[in-house]
Structure 1
Amino acid sequence: MTYDPRLVPVAPTQGAPVSIALTPFWIGSANGSALPLLLPGVAPRHVALMEREDGFYLSPVANVYPAPQLNGRPVSGLTRLADGDVIQVVPGSVWRLETGEPLPVAAEEVDEGFVGVAPRSGKKRKKRKAGRSGGGGWRTIAVWAGVLVVAALLVIAGIAVYNGATHESQMTPLSDTDAALFDSLLLVSYDHMERGSTLLDLSLGDQALQEFARSTNVLETSRLRDNPWVKPRIAALEATIAQVYRTRSVAVPAQYRNAKATVSTATSLKAQLSAADFAARFGAMETRFASQYHRQLVVTGRDHPEHLSLYGKGGAIDMRVNDLSRAEVQWIVSNCRAAGIRVKDFSTDSVLQAQIQGAIKAGLADRAGTGVHLHVDRFADRHDRYTVSWSGAVEKGEKLED
């Protein structure tokens, strides 16, 4: 049985219904949003719809104002949706979810507060495509045989873990459609991972933890979450989060403490430059910068845990400084781009800027970060909301002059 989930405008909102083809289904003012809204108060990524096997979920972005509402009530965390639910993105933009079929009632309600780890699905619902076959139940085992059974299961589990670690390459690869979905989800996950790392550097632990949770929730709330190729990559992201905390001598949250990586997510995205080429081109740019401006370019980060996991060893560099002029920033961006190096400008992240301003107002100027946060890596063909385009180089440079 097929169905066509969609969002239908509710008066006074005007327009045609919008089909939900893939999730996460982003609603916001950013280019490329599934439902673009150019209205006052709408953030670039304001709220998203996630599809899981047990239904749709509403996933608001932290610190957006006004917060989205579900059936007249503000929503602050991952929340289960039902057919006919009414979502207010901002006043004047109201939409009704129509799934095309009744959804089963969840066994447990999802807390409306922040969800640190994505809730596991309960009863499965009908899917858009053929569902997976279910497994049978275990028969009751006599007490006297319990020890032998447990021992046998431990042996089997050990073999499974070993095979998963050593024969991962033999798994059935994702289909073209699923690979494209995974690729898009991974980019969103990377955004949250890098933002969380920056917030942790600013000693904003609660906000960092929320971003790290969103980094894994993006995949854990998708239809790919049970795929045997995807599951170890979710575990690798969790292990990276744990390592980020350890390298900063901060206690690792309980949900990530025992996470272990058996694969590298860095191999999931194709790079246009090898690590050696990237290092050579960036080094040449540094030399030209020193010759042009008679000063050394300050590099503040190489091979951080998140760099190793997301971009591979020698795959990314951070520059977080407060003494670069507009001309120098523009020069760095232009020359990196000319050398085939991607530049991401986290200085424009509205969430990070809001946190920084909050730290300043609270008298914590030492947590306020820096005026410029540039990230460069070897994935020149990747594009997300922080990637600087050729035309954006001048615009972003001019914004930095006060």
Structure 2
Amino acid sequence: MLSMSLKALKANPLKTTLIYISLIFSITSIFLISSISNGVISMYSNMLKSDGDIIITQAKISDTFFSNVNIKLIKEIEKLKGVQKTSAIIVGASPVEELPIVAVYGVTQNRFDNYKLTQGSYPKPNEVLVGKSIYNSLSNKKTVQIADKKFSVSGVYKSKIGFENGGVVLNISDASAIFNKSASMLMVNSKIDTNIKDLISKIQTLSSDIEAKSTQNFVDNYNQFKIIKTSSNLIGLISFCMGLLGIISIMSITINQRKTEFGIKRAIGISTKKIILQIMSESTILGVFSFISAFFISWIALYFIRTSSLFHGYVNGEISSTLAIYLFGCSLSMAILGSIIPALNASKIDPIILMQGDKI
């Protein structure tokens, strides 16, 4: 069966190439869309997870960019049993020089250790720490303007998290004056063996204006992550359907040109099932090779996206084993479904009609 399928593919090089290219484009687009959305979610999740076990935001808020939490709650939270450290962060965005949008992080001093210095020192009031990818793009490396205020550059830091590496960090008091808020989030680190649920309940009683969640629960239920995943899945589905329709069209033409071959097979007693299995076998081979090609093309594309100075680390992609397995199944499904309809159509036509050359 395998040798016959390979011979059939070689006998129709143009159609085989067209199906192969169609599959590659469809699979690669799904690969890139899914991996980039996963990368964005992973970067932001890792940034949040590195800061604590509990995240506190404004109650009933749709996004952390709109959240405003009273930073004075830190003193009350630190009095609770089981709390090891509490920090605050303001998350914002602003144009910097020619860069249209740059992430701005206003943080408390006990969070500066999260940013590994490559040169200079941590910022004092009216100073900023600049991410390495942004620093390399600046024409003026001594000062930067955020909103309507100019800051001196105190140092440069490097982070494995693209969002942070492509941003600027300043004292939370300076960020508060720019964005007119106290804090976007409070991050709580608990001591070992602390009951997180009990600690969350105690924090929640401090104010009716806040919402406290475990970091993992916050990440799992963050609205923006759900929107990104839903959009990614929808675009991936469209790519899948477009690839599927393309394969069905090409396979219909290919099988129509092979009608005499199928008519002879039917005439000498080869069953409909075997004819269908052969066509499906041909498509499966194309699906496997298309997946392998799409995987390497996607990996190369993601590498250039990740290292390109154009994106400043904000766009990243992760090809997880789960995603690879899922797309391998999609590749086979696309190839098999695209061939099975024309195959059923060809195998059911009377062999005499097929050999006479009538259209399928």
Common fold, TM-score beyond 0.5? no
User: Larger % of strand: which?
Assistant: 2
Name the TM-score, length of structure 2 as normaliser.
0.20
User: Larger % of helix: which?
Assistant: 2
Ranked by relative contact order (alpha carbons within 8 Å, sequence separation 6 or more), the top structure is 2
Structure number with bigger Rg: 2
